[in-house]
Chains A and B, each alone.
Chain A
Amino acid sequence: MSSTAPASSHTRTEPALVRSLLIGTALLFLGLFLFVPLAAVFAQALEKGWDAYLAAIREPDALAAVKLTLITAAISVPVNLVFGVAAAWAIAKFEFRGKQLLITLIDLPFSVSPVISGLIYVLLFGLQGWVGPWLQEHDLKIIFAVPGIVLATVFVTFPFVARELIPLMEAQGKDEEEAAITLGASGFQTFWRVTLPNIKWGLLYGVILCNARAMGEFGAVSVVSGHIRGSTNTIPLHVEILYNEYNYAAAFAVASLLALLALVTLAAKSFVEWRMRETS
């Protein structure tokens, strides 16, 4: 009778040796590529002491970089939030021609190299670009100025919210929305009271990812920024400048801000994932 019990547990798990080998390998990998570099950033940042660390961060150019990063994120994330929700809504709840094309276009920023993402804006809005002369006439600066940086960041963080929401909304179907409409709700009421509460954790997850990328983007922003100290540098760009001047302690000090952002993002993600599991 009870002899069947150990046999079934044996068939469902690996032997202890294999298990510890697999977990050990995963931990080693994580350790080498994640923990050690992260620890190194903080170690190097504090190498010259706490005062030097604070001085590096309070330096005017560094503060300007922080401010620009925050402004860029503050614009890109809401824009992509609205776009992502609208696109996911259309794709998940409706049938229309060109739907597959829209889905492919949404994935485009993922498949394009960040440098190219930046280059397209230079080709469009730069002095030799299509719209360049017109902009010059009206004294509007996009490339090598803040608007260009925001544009490039919006492009690069395009897909995050939409990709998170589309499978979620498709899985949820449109029954609830149809029910709301038969009960007399308007389009807005249906969205606000039925759809939005159902997607809130997926939405938050997408926003967290979008924000992390918006603040940390290097390639695309580097191409359009022009690297003008004090005005068109984001935190990643500023770190590069400091490093190129052999000012390692300051470079790592500023980089530690991004590392902190990564840790906060990770914590927020885990929390949201936990909540998503709870409510589903």
Chain B
Amino acid sequence: MSIEIVNVNKAFGSFTALSDVNLTVPSGELTALLGPSGSGKTTLLRIIAGLETPDAGSIRFDGQETTDCHVRERQVGFVFQHYALFRHMTVEENVAFGLTVKPRKERPSKKAIRERVHELLRLVQLEGLADRYPSQLSGGQRQRVALARALAVEPKVLLLDEPFGALDAKVRVELRRWLRRLHDEIHVTSVFVTHDQEEALEVADRIVVMNRGRIEQAGTPAEVYDRPANPFVFDFLGSVNIFHCRAEQGQTRGAAPELAVGYVRSHDIEVERIRSEDAVEAEVRHIQAVGPAVRVELLVRGTGKTVEAELSRDGAERLALGAGETVYARPRKMQTFVGDYQI
């Protein structure tokens, strides 16, 4: 089921949460709403679910106007950041809830409900925990129960509000990969909200970057990372280093007079001991090993600005850098933007 968001506006008192938001979520895709706190992504998700109503604009499911439809008629599955499991019910009762509240005519038999619940528990790999209470489960297990519960009523759309936000780093990584595999199996149109760009880049088919109630860019992970539309998206999706350069016949070169601003990712900065064209002279300020990479802080001569280059462990070892040394930083790939955005 595709989702169309048309000209949606929402304000809470004097705070504008969403401003003229237009978006199409294609059927069967896993879309991420990515942005910092206050960007409006959770508000947008809740408006899609029907838990909030927009001040203006409309929501359409498969072309049908849904803006005035009540939450329970929208057939959406919602997964909350803090699970929202029914604390006094067992795992089995939680997952069966959506089926047991159906009107008599539509309600499956007790046996059918139990079978469906166990089928779902198998899907989320929690078989055998049917009689436990939520307080007896770990965070990762609780979130999987929440997912099973949302899927039990066969929703047309699955909405997840920072589903892994409350979990440990390792569990987060495991679970998001698992969610991706699950989506590949089930193909429900899914929208999830996150402020973690790594999560969005790894899991989503499409990323919608939001900031202050507006959509900055919508595209595939590769598009959004490699060809960001503006400095905000560039900065949010990865590391940023700013080089001041002068334009020459359509190409940018690293040198003194400030005519244009170039944006470069840390891993696109080559650190060399020999001066080459396009390189700037810099002094090594600080070297920090972080897991599989080495970050080198460089003070660019002449401008007084610092850039941070990211090298592989091998690369750093070969250079054998020491603090205070003079090296040459050459940006391999640089992007410039027109407009008045500032970082």
Among A99-107, A180-188, A226-234, the stretch that binds chain B is A180-188
Among A61-69, A123-131, A171-179, the stretch that binds chain B is A171-179
Residue of A nearest to B82 (CB): A175
Chain B: interface size category: 20 to 34
* Interchain CB contact (< 8 A) of A179 among B84, B88, B102, B152: B84
Q: CB distance A176 to B153 under 8 Å?
A: no
Given contacts A179-B84, A198-B87, contact A184 B101 (CB under 8 A): yes
* A184 neighbours in B (Cβ, 8 Å): 72, 98, 101-102, 153
Given contacts A178-B78, A179-B80, A198-B87, contact A185 B97 (CB under 8 A): yes
Q: CA–CA, A186 to B97, complex, Å?
A: 12
Q: CB distance B88 to A183 under 8 Å?
A: no
Q: CB distance A182 to B101 under 8 Å?
A: no
Interface residues of B in 82-114 (CB under 8 A from A): 82, 84-88, 97-98, 101-102
State whether the Cβ of A189 lies closer than 8 Å to any Cβ in chain B. Answer: yes
A120 nearest CB across to chain B (Å): 37
Q: CA–CA, A176 to B86, complex, Å?
A: 6
Interface residues of A in 155-179 (CB under 8 A from B): 175-176, 178-179
Given contacts A175-B80, A175-B82, A197-B88, contact A183 B51 (CB under 8 A): no
* B80 neighbours in A (Cβ, 8 Å): 175, 178-179
The proximity string for B residues 67-81 relative to A, scoring 1 for CB distances below 8 Å and 0 otherwise, is 000011000111010
Q: CB distance B153 to A178 under 8 Å?
A: no
* Interchain CB contact (< 8 A) of B72 among A176, A186, A193: A186
A201 nearest CB across to chain B (Å): 11
State whether the Cβ of A194 lies closer than 8 Å to any Cβ in chain B. Answer: yes
* A183 neighbours in B (Cβ, 8 Å): 72, 97-98, 101, 149-150, 152-153
* B152 neighbours in A (Cβ, 8 Å): 183
* B71 neighbours in A (Cβ, 8 Å): 181-182
State whether the Cβ of B207 lies closer than 8 Å to any Cβ in chain A. Answer: no
Residue of A nearest to B71 (CB): A181
* A185 neighbours in B (Cβ, 8 Å): 72, 97, 101
* B77 neighbours in A (Cβ, 8 Å): 182
Q: CA–CA, A185 to B71, complex, Å?
A: 10
* B84 neighbours in A (Cβ, 8 Å): 175-176, 178-179
Given contacts A182-B77, A183-B101, A184-B102, contact A194 B72 (CB under 8 A): no
State whether the Cβ of B49 lies closer than 8 Å to any Cβ in chain A. Answer: yes
Q: CA–CA, A55 to B144, complex, Å?
A: 67
Q: CA–CA, A12 to B45, complex, Å?
A: 49
Chain A facing B: main interface SS: helix
Residue of A nearest to B93 (CB): A193
Chain A: interface size category: 10 to 19
B154 nearest CB across to chain A (Å): 11
* B76 neighbours in A (Cβ, 8 Å): 182
* A179 neighbours in B (Cβ, 8 Å): 78, 80, 84-86, 146, 149
The proximity string for A residues 228-268 relative to B, scoring 1 for CB distances below 8 Å and 0 otherwise, is 00000000000000000000000000000000000000000
Q: CB distance A182 to B102 under 8 Å?
A: no
* A181 neighbours in B (Cβ, 8 Å): 51, 71-72
A100 nearest CB across to chain B (Å): 16
Q: CB distance A189 to B51 under 8 Å?
A: no
Residue of A nearest to B50 (CB): A182
Residue of B nearest to A197 (CB): B88
A277 nearest CB across to chain B (Å): 14
The proximity string for A residues 184-208 relative to B, scoring 1 for CB distances below 8 Å and 0 otherwise, is 1110010001100110000000000
* A182 neighbours in B (Cβ, 8 Å): 49, 51, 71-72, 76-78, 150
* B150 neighbours in A (Cβ, 8 Å): 182-183
Q: Which of B72, B76, B77 has the most CB of A within 10 A?
A: B72
B66 nearest CB across to chain A (Å): 14
Interface residues of A in 57-86 (CB under 8 A from B): none
Q: CB distance B101 to A198 under 8 Å?
A: no
Residue of B nearest to A189 (CB): B101
Given A179-B78, A184-B153, 11 more contacts at CB 8 Å?
A176-B85, A179-B84, A179-B146, A179-B149, A180-B97, A183-B97, A183-B98, A183-B101, A184-B72, A193-B101, A198-B87
28 contacts between A and B (CB under 8 A): A176-B84, A176-B86, A178-B51, A179-B78, A179-B80, A179-B84, A179-B149, A180-B86, A181-B72, A182-B49, A182-B51, A182-B71, A182-B76, A182-B77, A182-B78, A183-B72, A183-B98, A183-B150, A183-B152, A183-B153, A184-B98, A184-B101, A184-B153, A185-B72, A185-B101, A186-B72, A193-B86, A197-B88
List 10 A-B pairs, minimum CB-CB distance, nearest first: A183-B98, A175-B84, A179-B84, A182-B78, A185-B101, A197-B88, A184-B72, A181-B71, A189-B101, A176-B84
